[in-house]
Amino acid sequence: MPIVTIQQGPREVGQKRELVKKVTEAFVAALDVPAESVFVFVQEYPAENWGAAGRLTADR
């Protein structure tokens, strides 16, 4: 049972729907597992709660 966690900034529901579909398809193809066994969790973080290169994403 593959479990995938994706951490990202907020996205629209339609984008997340497509992401989960494509990630699931990739695991089905690569591992030859049924789609029902693939779990995808999307964790979203507002721009003020993460950063890169020493700066908050909200400040970019």
Do the domain assignments include residue 38?
yes
Full domain range(s) for residue 6: 1-42
Task: Tell me the DSSP string of 5-57.
Answer: EEEES---HHHHHHHHHHHHHHHHHHH---GGG-EEEEEE--GGG-EETTEEG
51 found inside a domain = no
pLDDT of 53: 95
Instruction: Look at residue 42 in the predicted model and tell me its pLDDT.
Output: 98
Domain membership of residue 4 (yes or no) is: yes
Global pTM value:
0.86
- For the stretch 6-46, pLDDT in tens is 999 999 999 999 999 999 999 999 999 999 999 999 999 99
| 57, part of any domain | no
The residue type found at 30 is A
Please report which confidence band the pLDDT of residue 2 belongs to, taking 50, 70 and 90 as the band edges. very high
- CATH number of the structural domain spanning residue 14: 3.30.429.10
Q: State how far the Cα of 11 lies from the Cα of 2, in Å rounded to an integer.
A: 23
In a domain, 30, yes or no: yes
Domain count, the chain: 1
Return the pLDDT at 29: 98
